[in-house]
């Protein structure tokens, strides 16, 4: 369950045995989870951000004949006797993955933004899908332009939901995390165009290679990164460190500095978490390029000239300081997935005080044998950690199935 990097890694590891059939049930339209949205942050050399690992595993999974993928699927019912019997409902993508060549005519000719959605990776199959909530065909049938113009005839807007029943011996819950929504923080997210999250900046860098102010598309003169938005926060009872945000933000800052050298970058932080292979060396190296201030700004106001004013307390000078920036990036934390309570109820899993799921040892979760948890469904992890964890969990599953 879950087609993020944890689910993909588990599926690939299990399929390597050559005699295990794997099904990936993914609730969204595209595989890859959050990490497929990230930009490669290599400058003149690789900085080990992990983004390429996700691309690689996604490609391997979609090409693997022993891995069957059900995107846009939701579980309707699960029963267990000797095996699990899982009834799933699959929403149509409206675009046939075997016929679609990824030409993009559907997206280019669609008159209503948000109706045709493109996957983040060229390895997503199909590369496009139709969003029923925005598409005019699903409102009043007034437009079927994409269906008429698709050169391959790959689009059928009248496709129906289908059902599928899986009979499986074991289930790996790899349903991931959700990013913290910072609307309730005093940073004007959702109010001011030029306050964005680190996830939004990742997507922009992936698509356009450079950073821009959403308000006018211009290159920002200066950017402030604010760390720990939604993590290490007593008020929210989110006491955990999200572990990946410092490295992710500093790698993005470094990339922007290389591609847009005139942009000044300031990094506001509580503590810099230097987890991960080679990160300390990278951190030492970027000191000269990125200004770092150990303080978290209080709130943000727009100025008359379209900039954003931040106020923070300068501990060294014992005074509060006002500074203005063109773009503010909020490094939002990793919080428990929204389906965790349902999963816990369904499989009798333990929910930790944080809201993440407790690891399931040896496939036994009280009443249900054959359940495992993998990746960030258990708490914040980086991409390499998630891959290592999911691989290890797959071996536990293989052992449980008496195949190891």
Ligand X SMILES: Cc1cc2nc3c(=O)[nH]c(=O)nc-3n(C[C@H](O)[C@H](O)[C@H](O)COP(=O)(O)OP(=O)(O)OC[C@H]3O[C@@H](n4cnc5c(N)ncnc54)[C@H](O)[C@@H]3O)c2cc1C
Per-residue DSSP letters for 240-268? S--SSHHHHHHHHHHHHHHHSTT-EEEEE
Could you tell me the smallest distance in angstroms from the CB atom of residue 53 to ligand X? 8
Residue 3 lies near ligand X (rule: CB under 6 A): yes
Cα–Cα distances (Å) from 242 to 3, 226, 247, in that order, read 21, 14, 11
Q: DSSP state, 234?
A: G
Cα–Cα distances (Å) from 99 to 72, 128, 152, 161, in that order, read 19, 12, 6, 19
Closer residue to ligand X in complex, CB, 154/229? 229
Could you tell me the smallest distance in angstroms from the CB atom of residue 97 to ligand X? 17
**Of 174-182, 224-232, 262-270, 363-371, which segment contacts ligand X by CB under 6 A?**
174-182
Closer residue to ligand X in complex, CB, 179/359? 179
Q: Can you tell me the distance from the alpha carbon of 8 to that of 25, in angstroms, rounded to the nearest whole number? A: 11
Burial of 305 (0-12, 13-18, 19+ CB in 10 A): exposed
Q: Which of 205, 244, 329, 360 binds ligand X (CB under 6 A)?
A: 244
3-state secondary structure (DSSP) of residue 333: coil
Q: Which of 14, 34, 268, 307 binds ligand X (CB under 6 A)?
A: 34
**Of 19-27, 84-92, 285-293, 294-302, which segment contacts ligand X by CB under 6 A?**
19-27
Could you tell me the smallest distance in angstroms from the CB atom of residue 131 to ligand X? 15
- Sites for ligand X among residues 348-387 (CB under 6 A): 375-376, 381-384, 386
Question: Residue 6: enclosing H or E segment and its boundaries?
Answer: helix 5-15
Could you tell me the smallest distance in angstroms from the CB atom of residue 284 to ligand X? 19
Q: Can you tell me the distance from the alpha carbon of 395 to that of 48, in angstroms, rounded to the nearest whole number? A: 26
Q: Which of 12, 15, 20, 50 binds ligand X (CB under 6 A)?
A: 50
Contacts of 100 (CB under 8 A, 6+ apart): 125, 126, 127, 128, 152, 154
Residue 11 lies near ligand X (rule: CB under 6 A): no
Closer residue to ligand X in complex, CB, 6/328? 6
Could you tell me the smallest distance in angstroms from the CB atom of residue 265 to ligand X? 17
**Of 96-104, 146-154, 197-205, 306-314, which segment contacts ligand X by CB under 6 A?**
197-205
Residues 287-326, mask of contacts with ligand X (x by CB under 6 A): ----------------------------------------
- Structure tokens belonging to residue 370: 């054959």
Neighbours of 207 (CB within 10 A): 12
Could you tell me the smallest distance in angstroms from the CB atom of residue 89 to ligand X? 12
Per-residue DSSP letters for 131-199? -TTT-THHHHS---HHHHH-TT--B-TT---EEEEEEES-EEE---EEE--GGGSTT-TTTSTTEEEHH
- With both helix axes pointing from N to C terminus, report the angle between 245-259 and 279-286 in degrees, rounded to the nearest 10: 50
Residue 220 lies near ligand X (rule: CB under 6 A): no
Could you tell me the smallest distance in angstroms from the CB atom of residue 374 to ligand X? 7
- Using CB under 6 A as the binding criterion, the count of chain residues that bind ligand X stands at 37
Question: Residue 281: enclosing H or E segment and its boundaries?
Answer: helix 279-286
Which residues are near ligand X by CB under 6 A? 1-7, 25-28, 33-35, 38, 49-50, 174-177, 179, 198-199, 202, 244, 248, 334, 337, 339, 375-376, 381-384, 386
């Amino acid at each position: 369950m879950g087609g993020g990097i944890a689910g993909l890694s588990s599926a690939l590891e299990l399929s390597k045995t050559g005699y295990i059939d794997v099904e990936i049930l993914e609730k969204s339209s595209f595989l890859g989870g959050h990490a497929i949205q990230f930009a490669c942050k290599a400058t003149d050399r690789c900085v080990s951000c992990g983004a390429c690992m996700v691309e690689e595993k996604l490609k391997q999974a979609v090409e693997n004949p022993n891995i069957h993928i059900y995107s846009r699927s939701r579980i309707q019912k699960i029963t267990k006797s000797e095996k699990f019997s899982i009834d799933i409902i699959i929403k149509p993508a409206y675009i046939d993955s075997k016929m679609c060549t990824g030409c993009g005519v559907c997206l280019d000719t669609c008159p209503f933004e948000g109706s045709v959605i493109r996957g983040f990776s060229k390895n997503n199959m199909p590369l496009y899908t139709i969003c029923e909530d925005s598409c005019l065909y699903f409102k009043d049938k007034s437009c079927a332009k994409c269906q008429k113009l698709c050169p391959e005839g790959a689009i059928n807007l009248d496709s129906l939901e289908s059902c599928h029943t899986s009979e499986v011996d074991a289930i790996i819950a790899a349903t991931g995390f959700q990013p913290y929504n910072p609307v309730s923080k005093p940073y004007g997210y959702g109010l001011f165009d030029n306050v964005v999250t680190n996830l939004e900046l990742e997507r922009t860098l992936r698509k356009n290679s450079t950073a821009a102010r959403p308000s006018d598309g211009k290159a920002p003169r200066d950017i402030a990164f604010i760390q720990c938005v939604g993590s290490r926060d007593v008020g929210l009872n989110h006491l955990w460190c999200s572990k990946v945000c410092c490295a992710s933000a500093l790698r993005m800052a470094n990339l922007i500095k290389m591609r847009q050298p005139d942009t000044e970058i300031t990094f506001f932080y509580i503590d810099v978490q230097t987890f991960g292979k080679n990160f300390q060396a990278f951190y030492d190296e970027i000191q000269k390029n990125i200004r770092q201030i150990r303080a978290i700004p209080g709130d943000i106001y727009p100025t008359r000239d379209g900039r954003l004013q931040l106020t923070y307390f300068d501990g060294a000078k014992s005074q509060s300081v006002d500074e203005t920036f063109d773009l503010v990036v909020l490094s939002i934390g990793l919080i428990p997935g929204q389906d965790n309570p349902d999963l816990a109820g369904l499989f009798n899993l333990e929910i930790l005080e944080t809201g993440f799921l407790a690891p399931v040892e040896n496939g036994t979760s009280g009443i249900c044998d054959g359940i495992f948890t993998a990746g960030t469904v258990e708490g914040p992890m980086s991409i390499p950690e998630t891959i290592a964890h999911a691989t290890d969990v797959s071996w536990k599953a293989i052992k449980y199935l008496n195949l190891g």
